[in-house]
Amino acid sequence: MSAAPENDIEEGLVFQPRFSADGLITCVTIDDASGEALMVAHMNAEALDKTLASGVMHYWSRSRGELWRKGDTSGQVQTLVELRVDCDQDALLARVRVGGDGGACHTGRRSCFYRRIERGAEGPRLALIEER
Footprint of a copy of itself (CB under 8 A) = 10-15, 26, 28, 30, 35, 37, 39-40, 52-53, 82-88, 91-93, 105-107, 109, 112-117, 119, 123-129
24-29: long-range pairs with CB below 8 Å, 24+: 24/60, 24/62, 25/90, 25/91, 25/92, 26/90, 26/91, 26/92, 27/59, 27/91, 27/92, 27/93, 27/94, 28/91, 28/92, 28/93, 28/94, 29/57, 29/78, 29/94, 29/96, 29/104
Q: How far is the CB of 67 from a copy of itself (least distance, A)?
A: 19
Q: How far is the CB of 72 from a copy of itself (least distance, A)?
A: 19
Q: How far is the CB of 65 from a copy of itself (least distance, A)?
A: 15
**Which CB, 15 or 75, lies closer to a copy of itself?**
15
Q: How far is the CB of 71 from a copy of itself (least distance, A)?
A: 17
**Which CB, 10 or 101, lies closer to a copy of itself?**
10
**Which CB, 14 or 23, lies closer to a copy of itself?**
14
**Which CB, 72 or 82, lies closer to a copy of itself?**
82
Q: What are phi and psi of 43, to 5 degrees?
A: -125, 140
Alpha-carbon span 26 to 29, nearest angstrom: 10
